[in-house]
Amino acid sequence: MSGGGSSLFSGFRVLGLYSNHVPHALRYHKKHREFYLVTAVGKCFHAYNVNRLGIVAISNSLSDDITCVTADRMLVFTAAGRLISAFARNKEVVMRYHGHKQEVHLLLPLGDQLISADSDIYLRLQFDLNTFEVSAMMHPSTYLNKVLLGSSQGALQLWNIKTSKLLFTFPGWSSGVTVLQQSPAVDVVGIGTAAGRIIIHNIRMDETLMSFTQDWGPVNSLAFRTDGPPIVASGSPQGHIAFWDLERRQLVTQQRHAHSTAVAGATFLHGEPLLVTNGADNAIKVWIFDQEGGGARLLRSRQGHSAPPTTIHHHGSDGKNILSAGQDGTLQSFSIVHERFNKNLGHGEFVPSKKKKGLLYEELRLPSITAFSSADARQSDWDGIVACHRGRPAATTWNYQRCTMGIHHLQPPSPCRDAIAVDITSCGNFVVIGSSTGRLDVYNLQSGQHRGCYGDDDKAHSGSVRGVATDTLNQLTTSVGSDWLLKFWRFKTRKQEEQLELNAAPASLMLHRDSGMLALALDDFTLLVVDIETRRVVRKFAGHHGNINDMVGSDLRGGRRCI
């Protein structure tokens, strides 16, 4: 215990965090001859090589969350609140810029200068927010010392930043400007609006060359291909991407559900048929255009949970991998050694074969996972993960090595509402599943067959089963229910041996198999430790003022401990 408190909960590293709603920045390293991607993740940013999407650097943390990120060939610039920071070597802050009185939301490196904008000032010239609120900006190619500004009212202005003079005002298209992007052609700019229009405009002649309209709301991002085909990509708040042919002036193809949230940023790599996108769904994706008809396919990605994780457990005996289920409905594995070992087991489906019958993807998705158990003893032979889903009576199996949902849906023989507790035996051959109706069923994992149930009249508890655990030798099964009872069962015969009446309803249990200690979290916020050999309460811990969400046990020298 140090003077600043316990170091037990000190942060070491973050797992599974790749991106948020802030658009990414792309930079090219001439010496390495490689593109690097920079994404904001809270108070710091990550740098990845696009070639493998391997992380190469994590910046030092700032005092506030990053709201904007950009980069030039030497430095990475970030805005956090009113402060702008310049990072060297993707890590260290080498310069800070002060002076903004409002939160900075736009950054643009221009030669040896950096242009920043907030909702109040620009170049120390006051704008009337009712007539021109800066919403986007870009440097037109070959336009020396010039910056094009877009406004949320729809008008555009071309400024000379050296003389601080307004050169020209474009009246706009009766809709707020959301994005500005230079096209491969000099003088031609892509403009995205809040009404979903994509305008290709010649700013020297003040002439609109063409326009498109996407059906998915405002244009979040624009990107032009530079490797030959005249294609512009537009991102939407629904996570879809549209690809437009500038020669034929029509829609070429769509990439629906590219992200589960809005497309925060999209950038084509210069001279390559590769598109990099990021979104608030905590995903970075690289798309390659090698399909017939001009379509794209996913080449590589880095993706974590797009919603908060709800249940995590270590998988395997070495402690190097963590299985995590989240509110987004996915099951994922994160390695504490290196991100290249991370796995995404995907989202559960009702009946995958029905995809061919025209059902929508959303209609096939299973609800989020509420509880799961895993064992690596036989994972090379059959599925080694079993998960319970919200509101579903059947549990699903998952295969860790193939990174897919398994072949079995473990359905109880008689109707019940939903499965809420699960535990796989240490040998990996059986799984015990508890339901909200008090059932406690045993299944064979290899065949998926039902092997019996505990209790009289097929009921182990008079209320819902809150937790279940099996010992190391498959001799004993313990279960707790909302009937305030802890019960001990013979695993093979499924006969009850003993029960303990508790002082409150249990919320969950955790058995540390090596020590034989069973931890019970109760609804009165107390924690009980039961020795499964003597079947007596050996410790009681109090002091929590809220629900106990999870527990973990460990063996310490000099005795057995359970936390």
Return the bridge partners of 518, or none.
511, 530
DSSP state letters, 223-273: EE--SSS-EEEEE-TTS-EEEEETTTTEEEEEETTSSSS-EEEEEEPTTSS
C-alpha 103/C-alpha 111 separation (Å) is: 24
**Residue closest to 313 by CA, chosen among 422, 404, 418:** 422
| 25-117+179-301 and 368-501 in the same fold | yes
- Please count the CA atoms within 13 angstroms of the CA of 148 that sit on its side-chain side: 27
Instruction: Output the CA–CA distances (angstroms, integers) from residue 359 to 107, 127, 352, 364, in the order listed.
Output: 44, 52, 10, 7
Q: Which long-range contacts (CB under 8 A, 24 or more apart) does 386-389 make?
A: 386/410, 386/422, 386/424, 386/431, 386/433, 386/445, 387/325, 387/331, 387/348, 387/422, 388/418, 388/419, 388/420, 388/421, 388/422, 388/433, 389/348, 389/418, 389/419
Helix ranges restricted to H, 16-152? none
Give CA–CA dist 219/537, Å, rounded: 61
Q: How far apart are CA 40 and CA 65, in angstroms?
A: 9
Backbone angles phi, psi at 410, to 5 degrees: -85, 95
Tell me if residue 364 falls in helix, strand or coil: helix
pLDDT of residue 65: 94
Closest CA to 284 of 38, 14, 35: 38
Tell me if the domain spanning 368-501 has CATH number 2.130.10.10: yes
User: Which residues 6+ apart lie within 8 Å of 419 measured at CB?
Assistant: 371, 388, 389, 392, 393, 394, 395, 410, 412, 433, 434, 435, 436
Whole-prediction pTM value? 0.85
Q: What is residue 8's predicted lDDT score, i.e. its pLDDT?
A: 63
What is the spatial distance between Cα 71 and Cα 37, in angstroms, rounded to a whole number?
A: 10
* DSSP letter assigned to residue 349: B
Separation CA 353–CA 409 (nearest Å): 14
- Comparing CA positions, the residue from 4, 8, 16, 17 lying closest to residue 44 is 17
Distance, in Å, from the CA atom of 149 to the CA atom of 290, rounded to the nearest integer, reads 35
CA distance 46 to 53: 11
Report whether 304 contacts 63 (CB < 8 A).
Answer: no
Q: What pLDDT score was predicted for residue 523?
A: 93
Largest CA distance in the chain: 89
Classify residue 345 by its DSSP letter: E
Cβ-Cβ contacts under 8 Å for 357 (sequence gap 6 or more) = none
Distance CA 107, CA 122 (A): 11
pLDDT of the chain along its 563 residues, tens only? 444 566 666 666 788 999 999 999 999 988 888 999 999 999 999 999 999 999 999 999 999 999 999 999 889 999 999 999 999 988 899 999 988 888 998 999 988 888 888 866 544 555 566 778 889 999 999 999 899 999 999 999 999 988 889 999 999 999 999 999 999 999 999 999 999 999 999 999 999 999 999 999 999 999 999 998 999 999 999 999 999 999 999 999 999 999 999 999 999 999 999 999 999 999 999 999 998 888 899 999 999 999 999 999 999 888 899 999 999 999 999 999 888 899 999 888 876 444 445 555 566 788 999 999 999 999 999 999 999 999 999 999 999 999 999 999 999 988 788 999 999 999 999 999 999 999 999 999 999 999 999 998 889 999 999 999 999 999 999 999 999 999 999 999 999 999 999 999 999 999 999 889 999 999 999 999 999 999 999 999 998 898 888 888 775 333 444 44
Give the strand pairing for 283-288 and 125-126. unpaired
Q: If residue 362 lies in a helix (H) or strand (E), which one and from where to where?
A: helix 361-364
Three-state secondary-structure class, residue 357 = helix
What CATH architecture does domain 25-117+179-301 belong to? 7 Propeller (2.130)
Describe the strand order of the beta sheet including 134-138 as a list of residue ranges.
134-138, 146-151, 156-160, 165-170
Residue 560: its pLDDT value, please? 42
Residue among 458, 390, 384 at smallest CA distance from 420: 390
How many whole angstroms separate alpha carbon 41 and alpha carbon 21? 9
Report residue 537 as tokens. 């309460």
For residue 353, count CB atoms less than 10 angstroms from its CB and return exposed for 0-12, middle for 13-18, buried for 19 or more: exposed
Domain ranges, ordered by start, for the chain: 25-117+179-301, 368-501
